[in-house]
DNA sequence: CCTGCTTATCTTGACATCAAGATAAATGGA
DNA sequence: TCCATTTATCTTGATGTCAAGATAAGCAGG
């Protein structure tokens, strides 16, 4: 019995004519995402990072050399607004973790490039973060963990959460 | 192939010594929660409600008569801070959807009670919201949906997301 | 009764976020 | 070449959120 199951039962008693089963899945999705995020945040706090900071650094690091994306590509990968993107880049620029460069051929484009310090911070946090995630999933049985992963992957496909195709530095027009 | 699978492959290429499999599950959890929330928000917008407003109204409605919770109980059920609780109650009070009442016996406690208008707004939105959730889950096969639900329920239990035990009006000391 | 501790709510200040619009650059058709 | 349209980023203003502390009311032991 978890919290969502309790809410489902309350709704069945109060409004029995409505099929409440979707809530058992989607209600948990957002609630558990929040609970898991709290655990993840606490690890990043120990590492001196905000979760959103790691998000940016990780997006750039996993691209591989030369560790650069345009502001727009970052925006799409992180699923945030353009205003938030500008703000995030600015804060990380102040911290010395990224640099901004105007594209030479297309004056509208801003390249965000990881500095050595930014890459180092990301690579230091990365294994600690993943170990934390591993510890959370270890609370589940192998079967449950596998069902969860399979179900989530299916949902990702169903919602068309497709891989981003960033502009590569070579692709400058 | 979804976005998270792509990120996993990028990480495998860039930092092969780290086991990246936990990200396939937990990365999807937060990413998909965000995608699903966007769909949910758009339905509430049509209904003239914010998601957080429905959260409050639903917490009160599903309690059954007399549709009341203390501010602290709302805070715990919705997993938000006390400051956010105060703010939410204030906004809904302005809209005429809830009322504030000091407990007669314990002067620190504030009872938040649903008005008829608040209950009506919630009961109008509730079936539309659940139909929307049902439509999202319908994108999955029966098997995938069942695995997702089972996996999430297991995670809820593992993270000890336990049912709240609110103070009932009868329990006034 | 006091006095210190706990509990419940509210206030304040900071901040990340978004929507909408501004700015500026590129593009494409007449 | 010119102008309208599209694209990429940034700015502005509003908002929801939290952490930390303030306020105020119970509570418990002397």
Task: Tell me whether residues A10 and B34 touch, CB distance under 8 A.
Answer: no
pLDDT above 50: residue B173? no
pLDDT of residue A168: 67
pLDDT band of residue A173 (cuts 50, 70, 90) is very low
Q: Which of A23, A149, A150 sits opposite B133 (nearest CB)?
A: A23
Provide the token pair at B19.
């086991």
Asked whether residue B16, judged by its CB, lies under 7 Å from any atom of the DNA or RNA strand D, the reply is no
Residues 100-159 of A with CB under 7 A from strand D: 100, 106, 108-110
Segment A33-47 mean pLDDT: 96
Q: In this predicted model, what pLDDT tens digit does every residue of B12-49 receive, in sequence order? A: 999 999 999 999 999 999 999 999 999 999 999 999 99
pLDDT of residue B71: 97
Tell whether omega for the bond before A99 is within 30 degrees of 0, i.e. cis.
no
Q: In sequence order, which residues have a C-beta less than 8 Å from that of residue B173 and are 6 or more positions away?
A: B105, B106
What distances in angstroms separate CA B13 from CA A54, A63, B20, B97, one per listed residue?
19, 9, 11, 54
Tell whether omega for the bond before B64 is within 30 degrees of 0, i.e. cis.
no
pLDDT above 90: residue B69? yes
* Range of lowest pLDDT (A25-39, A153-167, B60-74): A153-167
pLDDT of residue A169: 59
Q: Which of residues 114-173 of B touch A (CB under 8 A)?
A: 123, 126-127, 130, 133-134, 136-137, 139-141, 144-159, 161-164
pLDDT of residue A162: 86
């Amino acid at each position: 019995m978890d919290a969502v199951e309790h809410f489902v039962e309350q709704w069945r008693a109060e409004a029995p004519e409505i099929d409440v089963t979707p809530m058992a899945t989607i209600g948990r999705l957002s609630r558990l995402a929040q609970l898991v995020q709290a655990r993840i945040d606490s690890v990043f706090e120990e590492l001196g990072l905000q979760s959103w900071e790691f998000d940016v650094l990780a997006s750039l690091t996993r691209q591989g050399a030369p560790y650069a994306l345009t502001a727009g590509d970052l925006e799409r990968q992180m699923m945030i607004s353009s205003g938030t993107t500008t703000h995030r880049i600015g804060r990380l620029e102040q911290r010395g973790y990224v640099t901004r460069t105007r594209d030479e051929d297309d004056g509208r484009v801003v390249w965000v490039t990881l500095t050595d310090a930014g890459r180092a911070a990301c690579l230091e946090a990365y294994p600690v973060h993943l170990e934390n995630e591993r510890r959370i999933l270890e609370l589940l049985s192998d079967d449950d963990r596998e069902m969860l992963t399979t179900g989530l992957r299916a949902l990702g496909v169903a919602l068309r959460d497709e891989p981003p195709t960033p502009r590569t530095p070579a692709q400058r027009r």
